[in-house]
Structure 1
Amino acid sequence: MRQQNSDLPRQEFGTASAWAVAVTIPARNEARRIVPCLEAAATSLKGRGGIVLAVNKSADETVARARAWFEASGATGMILNEQSPPPGRGVGRARRQAVAACAHRLVPGAVIMTTDADSRVAGDWVDANLAELTRADLVCGAVLPDAEEFAKLPATIGRRGVLEGEYMALTLAVRQRLDPVPHDPEPTHLNAAGASLAFTTDVYRDTGGISDFETGEDRAFVLAAERRGWRIRHSARAHVITTCRLNGRTSGGMAGALRARITEADPFVDELLEPAVQTILRARMQGSIRRRCNDGLEFGEALAQMEESTAELARSRLRLSDLHRELPLLAAAFAELEPVAERKSA
């Protein structure tokens, strides 16, 4: 895989063997959570590769604690430490630097996985991702809140989340009925978070890699892969547990969404949710395109053209109050839908 070499200060640990799997983790001021994160990743990895920790503008003991853990555990991996990244570059840059730093260690056909420093991957996370990659090229895992931390949050978060969850589930049901995807069967979801991604080196090279965005680099990467015709799997099996803190390391993200549900009278909901009419139209058009296209690249190109040329699909962010109005409309529309025939994978 051709990647720009990382010239950041680097420390390497463990064996010098080649890696079949690389687990990459960006971190900033995560001294309290970094050791549990690394331990979970190592447990799931089972010696099949290495961990790359890309520390970005950190002012606490993240690096020191990570170094002590690597030395004590004997785990294979490396630590990058960039103290002065260019303005406007954050987690996306850290992820990109992590991949570049370990490119020379990867065997042909290696798999790259990403998670976050405030998350703990499941014990079977690596196994689940590898299993899903037998029928897909990029796996978006499920990100679950830490139950103990979530229980301590104000009750209003849970109450408001119920409505969004119902609308999300109905959106998925619409897509499954109008645009069933052979490589992304139920149970599935809509999330595409850097806290749990897994992809082949071919996908990474073909898309140009993860962009240096301060936020949103994960969804942008997944969208680019879909547009290039790669098979995207939204897996409920590959999952991570993540913190429920209200002050995150970047603007927005899970912390920002949780905070908004407490402090705002009418917060925005997930950007992937759309009005009922738009939800139906998008799924219907995507399904029609998928059934007539001969391969993934043709589908990706047609999908991009559909987005650009269909004014009715222009996205506008919904608020919680919008869901109160749209949920019964979407439910009624869904009840009238007839399922379409699913196109078999080639």
Structure 2
Amino acid sequence: MESKRLLFVADFSSVQLEKDFSQTLVQIPPSPHCEVCVIVPVRNEAQMLAATLTALIHQVDLEGQLLDPKRYEIILLANNCSDDSAAIARSFAGQHPDIALHVVEKTLPPAEAYIGRVRQILMDEAYRRLSSLGRTRGVIASTDGDSQVSPTWIAANLYEITCGADAVGGRILTDRAERSNLDPYTRACYLRYVGYRYLIAQLETYLEPDHYDSFPRHYQHYGASLAVTAEMYALAGGLPPVQTLEDVAFYRALVRVNARFRHSPLVQVITSARQIGRASIGMANQLSQWAEMGRQQQSFLVESAAAIETRFVARRQLRVMWCCALNGDQPNHPSVASLAEMLGVSAQWLVEKLTQPYSFGELFELVEERQQEEQTWASRWKDVDIKQAIGDLRLRLKSLRQ
């Protein structure tokens, strides 16, 4: 069922910092053939940066032919570095003059020196450059300074956009050698978590299928591999100005405006499995938490399969009810009461929200916030050991396949 698409234009009024950043690049106009602006936030990545940039310049199309370098440019912002990251990037650019690699070095004030702000500055600049070419379906593609994109990363993102996606999350894999150096408990937690989330993604395709995000698909929508059209970037209001988990916040902003989001297995990136990261929340932080859980002999608890299935079933019923309300049909009280009970919210509250002009993404976000306020969902569903959850998800998927 096709959802209503809300249109609004984001306000990109820049602060002085962004004006200074744009001014640095304004004398270097994008190639008229540019379809993709790749952004790379970098902070103290001297050890990994050469590999990151090497992967980006050796891009091929889906048939394995070298991708025309005029079709994309790379914008790298080295912020608050105390190592040779900026010098390495500049040297790399000088050695590869056929690639449009723009390197900017900045020392941001403490209040601005966080990954969410840096990625926002970069993505806003990519939006400005693509807009100057009139490319509404031009692609802003994000990766990280400790990650190596696959040879077809740009081509696969473009393929998914051509197929109708507004935004694409790539599959993010950890470096195998670094992963093998993790302690056994941390490594087991990582592998189980990946399997758990992958099974949830499969279950979702059965219980609430999405034409633009059909199986095979994965579950990730993170900054190491995130692509969005310039048009949808503006419609979503740009990258939210949050300090951490800016990629997750942006995904939620895309969901609010009914963006067609694709979790593509064709788009792949390898990232570091280090346990000391550059952000307070992220892969490194998660690995460190698992390592500490192992030292404390704590169980790895996650949401149960029953809770996950109930959420998907309820969300699909809510979507149907929302669509009916859009068409002027007032939902009857028994059906609203039944769904409200399943969601753990009051029927009166749900009726009120169904009469408001929300997108479905906005409506379900309000439902989740209400569940937290009333603590009904958490009190009903208790977390379980991840091994039990994986077993239960496998059994449920087996029955659905049959």
- Work out whether 1:17 is the aligned partner of 2:78: no
d(CA) in 2 for partners of 1:57 and 1:314? 41
- Give 1:253 shift: 0.9
CA 1:14–1:300 in structure 2 vs 1: closer, same or farther (change >3 Å)?
same
Deviation digits for residues 179-204 of structure 1 (CA, Å, limit 9, x no counterpart):
11110011111111100001011111
Which residue of structure 1 lines up, in the alignment, with residue 160 of structure 2?
A: 132
Deviation digits for residues 39-79 of structure 1 (CA, Å, limit 9, x no counterpart):
21122264112101011211111111101111121121322
Deviation digits for residues 113-137 of structure 1 (CA, Å, limit 9, x no counterpart):
0000000111100010011112211
Alignment of 1:19-168 (within 5 A): 19-44=34-59, 46-47=68-69, 48-74=71-97, 75-87=99-111, 89-106=113-130, 107=133, 108-109=135-136, 110-133=138-161, 134-168=163-197
Alignment of 1:268-307 (within 5 A): 274-291=303-320, 298-307=359-368
Which piece of structure 1 moves more, 59-68 or 157-166? Answer: 157-166
CA contact (8 A) 1:91 1:212 kept: no
Deviation digits for residues 231-270 of structure 1 (CA, Å, limit 9, x no counterpart):
1111111011111111111113111122222232367969
Q: Percent identity?
A: 29
Letter of the structure 2 residue corresponding to residue 206 of structure 1: L
CA contact (8 A) 1:111 1:198 kept: yes
Which residue of structure 1 lines up, in the alignment, with residue 264 of structure 2?
A: 235
**Structure 1 consecutive aligned stretches of length 4 or more whose deviation exceeds 6 Å:** 11-15, 267-270, 315-319
The unaligned stretches of length 5 or more in structure 2 are: 1-9, 60-66, 327-357
CA contact (8 A) 1:54 1:81 kept: yes
d(CA) in 1 for partners of 2:381 and 2:238? 27
Which piece of structure 1 moves more, 114-123 or 322-331? Answer: 322-331
d(CA) in 1 for partners of 2:157 and 2:252? 19
d(CA) in 2 for partners of 1:263 and 1:157? 9
CA contact (8 A) 2:30 2:73 kept: no
CA contact (8 A) 1:138 1:199 kept: yes
Aligned partner of residue 55 in structure 1, secondary structure: strand
> Which structure is higher in helix share?
2
- Give 1:22 shift: 0.2
Aligned residues: 335
CA 1:327–1:148 in structure 2 vs 1: closer, same or farther (change >3 Å)?
closer
d(CA) in 2 for partners of 1:66 and 1:269? 40
Which residue of structure 1 lines up, in the alignment, with residue 273 of structure 2?
A: 244
CA 1:104–1:307 in structure 2 vs 1: closer, same or farther (change >3 Å)?
closer
Aligned partner of residue 59 in structure 1, secondary structure: coil
d(CA) in 2 for partners of 1:309 and 1:11? 45
d(CA) in 1 for partners of 2:204 and 2:172? 21
CA contact (8 A) 2:239 2:246 kept: yes
Letter of the structure 2 residue corresponding to residue 55 of structure 1: A
d(CA) in 2 for partners of 1:129 and 1:316? 40
CA contact (8 A) 2:150 2:268 kept: yes
d(CA) in 2 for partners of 1:220 and 1:262? 26
Letter of the structure 2 residue corresponding to residue 130 of structure 1: L
Which residue of structure 2 lines up, in the alignment, with residue 178 of structure 1?
A: 207
CA contact (8 A) 1:14 1:77 kept: no
Aligned partner of residue 98 in structure 1, secondary structure: helix
CA 1:89–1:53 in structure 2 vs 1: closer, same or farther (change >3 Å)?
same
- Work out whether 1:7 is the aligned partner of 2:68: no
d(CA) in 2 for partners of 1:329 and 1:103? 44
The unaligned stretches of length 5 or more in structure 1 are: 340-346
Alignment of 1:181-220 (within 5 A): 181-220=210-249
- Give 1:38 shift: 1.4
TM-score (norm 1): 0.85
d(CA) in 2 for partners of 1:62 and 1:237? 30
d(CA) in 2 for partners of 1:13 and 1:117? 25
Deviation digits for residues 18-53 of structure 1 (CA, Å, limit 9, x no counterpart):
432100010100112112211211222641121010
CA contact (8 A) 1:282 1:313 kept: no
CA 1:14–1:149 in structure 2 vs 1: closer, same or farther (change >3 Å)?
farther
Aligned partner of residue 19 in structure 2, secondary structure: coil
d(CA) in 1 for partners of 2:274 and 2:315? 36
Aligned-pair RMSD on alpha carbons?
Answer: 3.1
d(CA) in 2 for partners of 1:220 and 1:227? 11
CA 1:233–1:315 in structure 2 vs 1: closer, same or farther (change >3 Å)?
farther
TM-score (norm 2): 0.74
d(CA) in 1 for partners of 2:241 and 2:254? 16
